[in-house]
Amino acid sequence: MPTFDVPSGLRADHLHAGPSFADAVAPRLGIAPLEAPLGWLADLPRAFTQREIVIMSIEEAYALRRPAFIKSPNDKSIRALVYPDGSRLPGPDAVDPQTPVLVSDVVTFDAEYRLHILEKTVHAGSQYAENGQLKLGPLSTSASRFGADLLAECGHTLPTAIVVDVGTTDGRWAVIEANAAWASGHYAANTDHVLDVVLRAAGPAADVAAHDRPFIRVPGSSATPSAGDT
């Protein structure tokens, strides 16, 4: 589909696309894309992140006077960068001041892996970066083990199909971020196993299990995080 327009008569049960396309198309096709809660990364125990992460409105982030890694929780509306301070963020003329952002301590990841999660298990995965550069490779045993430990403690806070990126920083394993499986690349992972995750992550709304219903993406959602999220 070259545009966001749904041709008359088109039927589809699943999608794999970016957030803007999904927001425009999924509701018309009766597809329910699943994603992690906006504040999921910030709510993880420090043992799984190895850094401080807070979710706040971009209006609050303007007041930051220190370097921080800042990004949108579930899409690319705010460019993911290390900002010298909050004054370098897109201004209110470009972004709704209530747009939520994740503000993180600045860390360097030595190796990075993508885990495709299905039913609280690592269903597929691969390495995708080393020292900040693209480097594809197999999923390491230690990355898979860290993913299993994460899911054992926090798997109930995620939909049944999701992507979680993890990596090592100063020799310690940490969660990098969660991404919607329907909007994520597979890198070097087994494509059939990745497809299992994608189909579950964006399927017919009528088939969504009770556990996953709170994780259905709301098109264009930019709700301000509550005090409990921070």
Q: What is the pLDDT, as a whole number, of residue 226?
A: 35
- Cα distances from 116 to residues 21, 119, 144, 162, in angstroms, run 21, 10, 10, 6
Please give the full DSSP string across 45-76, using - where no structure is assigned.
-HHHHSS-EEEEEHHHHTT--S-EEEE-SSSS
Tell me the per-residue pLDDT of 2-31, one tens digit each, with 9 for 90 and over.
Answer: 888 888 888 999 999 999 999 999 999 999
The amino acid at 155:
G
**What is the model's pLDDT at position 1?**
75
Say what the pLDDT of residue 221 is. 60
SS3 172: strand
What's the pTM value of the predicted model, to 2 decimals?
Answer: 0.92
In terms of DSSP bridges, do strands 121-130 and 172-179 run parallel, antiparallel, or are they unpaired? unpaired
Amino acid identity of residue 97, one-letter, is P
Beta-carbon contacts of 194 under 8 Å, excluding residues fewer than 6 positions away, are 116, 124, 181, 186
Tell me the C-alpha distance between 199 and 201, whole Å: 5
Give the separation between CA 70 and CA 85, rounded to whole angstroms.
10
Question: What pLDDT sits at residue 223?
Answer: 42
Distance between CA atoms of 70 and 193, rounded to whole angstroms?
31
Q: What is the pLDDT of residue 183?
A: 96
DSSP 112: E
Question: Which residues in the chain come in under a pLDDT of 70?
Answer: 221-230
Instruction: For residue 27, give the amino acid letter.
Output: P
3-state secondary structure of 230: coil
Residue 113 pairs in a beta bridge with 127, 166
| pLDDT for residue 77 | 85
**Count of CB atoms within 10 A of residue 217's CB?**
23
Classify the C-alpha dihedral 191-211-101-167 as positive or negative.
negative
